[in-house]
Amino acid sequence: MKKIVFIILLALCSSNLIYAQDSVEKPFIEINGTAELQVIPDQIFIGIHLKENIDRDKKTITEQERDLIKAIEAIQISPKKLVVTDANAYYGKVGLVGKEVVSSKRFELEVSDATQAKKVFEQLDKLNIKNASIVRVDHTKLEEYKKIVKINAIKTAKNKAQYLLEAIGEELGGALIVRENNFNTNGVQFRSNQSYSMAYETKPMVELDFKKITLQSSVYTKWGIK
């Protein structure tokens, strides 16, 4: 009987020893990796607001839209790049007592660079369209660039972990945890220190300069040490 009890106790002690050995966490290193990429936007979106003027010589929205399409075609921009974002009608006052339905329409025109944007504003000025501004910028391959930045952030973390461990004579093991901390996309909203409203007879056209879109990625990684 004593022999059986001894064997059971020995088995329990052995299992506890194995568990204790497994529960001891293996050495590891934690590293944050960051990466940044700047890209020049190839999509510039210009917001244009057309509104009927309440006077005897007013042009309808349809006529204004027709003139706008002709103007952008004259500078080699496809009308397909012009989309309607909003349209409405309301009562506007005419004279002292009269009222008339006034229509308005908002468009968004896509161009590929600052040179095209400048030409568009020149055409808008010829049509006496003052309510226009650049609303945002983008890039046709933005999602692809986002992936590149995230991959670079992970590579940066791995390289950093490797040279830190080499400094103390250790070798990097496999990745235990890879987690995205943060990702930022800056510069897609256009910021200008002045609105578009000028007469070319008296003022030169302000050169348009677009900030690059900045992509920033930050990742947390945890690596084993061999």
Query: Which domain range does residue 109 map to?
Result: 43-138
Q: At which of 121, 138, 155 does a domain end?
A: 138
- Same domain? For 150 and 114 the reply is no
Average pLDDT of adjacent 10-residue blocks, the chain of 226 residues: 49 47 76 96 94 72 94 96 85 56 87 93 93 92 97 97 96 96 85 39 48 94 96
- Is 56 within a domain? yes
- Same domain? For 84 and 117 the reply is yes
- Same domain? For 36 and 145 the reply is yes
Measured distance CA(109)–CA(137) in Å, rounded: 11
Q: Please tell me the pTM assigned to this model.
A: 0.72
Question: The CATH number of the domain where 66 resides is what?
Answer: 3.30.70.120
Predicted pLDDT at 32: 97
Predicted pLDDT at 200: 35
- Is 10 within a domain? no
- Same domain? For 111 and 52 the reply is yes
Specify the number of domains making up the chain: 2
